[in-house]
Amino acid sequence: MNTKKQAGFTLYELLITVLIVGVVLSFGVPNLREFSQNSRMTGAANDLHAAFQMARTEAARAKSNITICASANSMAAGADCGGTWDQGFIVFVDDNANRAREVATETVLRAHPAAPEGVSLAIANDATYFMYGANGLGRRDVGNNVPLSQVVMCDERGNITAAGGNSAGRLLVATPLGRATILRDKTQIDTSLASMGKTCP
């Protein structure tokens, strides 16, 4: 009688394999989630920072007033100022320097959609705009309206120390002259939130 060898796993080998996979996933999944959250936060902060840099450069190049403002309809053809920063924002040529886009004549240079899901923003003085003058410098208190100076961005983790010793949150600081910087120091973010009288998230 001919015998035939059967290839495959024994029950013990299968159980050990499942156990190893479970251990690896228990370490890997939380790290993957944190990586995804960090990427989302970095993207949101970089988008706003890039808008400031572009607006400043364009103002100096074109010798025009350039305004960045919160917009509830930022991706529409008739996008204008209004709403909150987490709804989106636009960068446009503000010829008459009134912080409001004249849809027919003032060109949108860049438009950003709403902030990624799970990212919340705390805005100093609830400011809704920042304007650069024709010299590439920030214009202060246009029409007695305080310009954007600080934005704290965070997610459900709040302002905690994340991997690498930096905060899980982000702080954008725009100086009166128009220089924008992204900071990740936990103490600085706590100080900014306290001065705003706000929490994040």
Instruction: Flag whether 22 is in a domain.
Output: no
17 inside domain: no
Does residue 184 form part of some domain? Answer: yes
List pLDDT tens digits, range 17-69: 777 777 766 665 566 778 888 889 999 999 999 999 999 999 999 999 999 99
pLDDT per position as a tens digit, 182-197: 999 999 999 999 999 9
**Domain-embedded: residue 102:** yes
Is residue 167 domain-resident? yes
Do residues 129 and 86 touch, judged by C-beta distance below 8 A? no
- Residue 59, in any domain of the structure: yes
| Structural domain boundaries enclosing 174 | 35-196
| 60: its two tokens | 């100096």
59: Cβ–Cβ under 8 A, 6 or more apart, which residues?
65, 66, 132, 133, 134, 135, 136
CATH of the domain at 100: 3.55.40.10
Total domains present in the chain: 1
Query: Is 7 inside a domain boundary?
Result: no
Does this model's pTM top 0.85?
Answer: no
Give the Cβ contact number of residue 38 at 10 Å. Answer: 17
User: Per the domain annotation, does 182 fall within a domain?
Assistant: yes
